[in-house]
């Protein structure tokens, strides 16, 4: 078992092409013994965004703080704190912070 305050997990800059103003905490990962799923917490600074991308696995996302604009091949959708977002495999997507406050979300992914 692991119980931890996510704020005590190392915050790392996301350096992927297309990312701007994004940091990540790997709060549950293989180092914890997770065999099937990983949990990450992302911080997106005002004006920041994740890359516009897709991959062969689904995403489950929970908006913890702030407000996100979720861009997909189906358009732009607002997701405020407390919202959940489900993205299908191969669905193009991007999380944008178009506000003047921090946006933070939890993202669950399968081990690949």
| Domains detected in the chain | 11-110 (2.60.120.10)
The one-digit pLDDT tens for each residue of the chain (112 residues) are: 999 999 999 999 999 999 999 999 999 999 999 999 999 999 999 999 999 999 999 999 999 999 999 999 999 999 999 999 999 999 999 999 999 999 999 999 998 7
Distance between CA atoms of residues 65 and 39, nearest Å: 16
Inter-residue contact 14 to 45 (CB < 8 Å): no
* Nearest-5° Cα angle at 107, 101 to 112: 145
């Amino acid at each position: 078992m692991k119980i931890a305050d996510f704020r005590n997990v190392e915050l790392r800059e996301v350096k992927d092409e297309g990312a701007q103003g994004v940091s990540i905490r790997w709060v549950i990962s293989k180092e914890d013994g997770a065999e099937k799923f990983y949990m990450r917490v992302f911080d997106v600074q005002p004006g920041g965004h994740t890359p516009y991308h897709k991959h062969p696995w689904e995403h489950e996302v929970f908006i913890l703080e702030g407000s996100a604009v979720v861009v997909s091949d189906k358009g732009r959708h607002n997701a405020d704190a407390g919202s959940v977002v489900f993205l299908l495999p191969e669905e193009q997507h991007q999380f944008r912070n178009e506000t003047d406050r921090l946006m933070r979300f939890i993202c669950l992914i399968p081990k690949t």
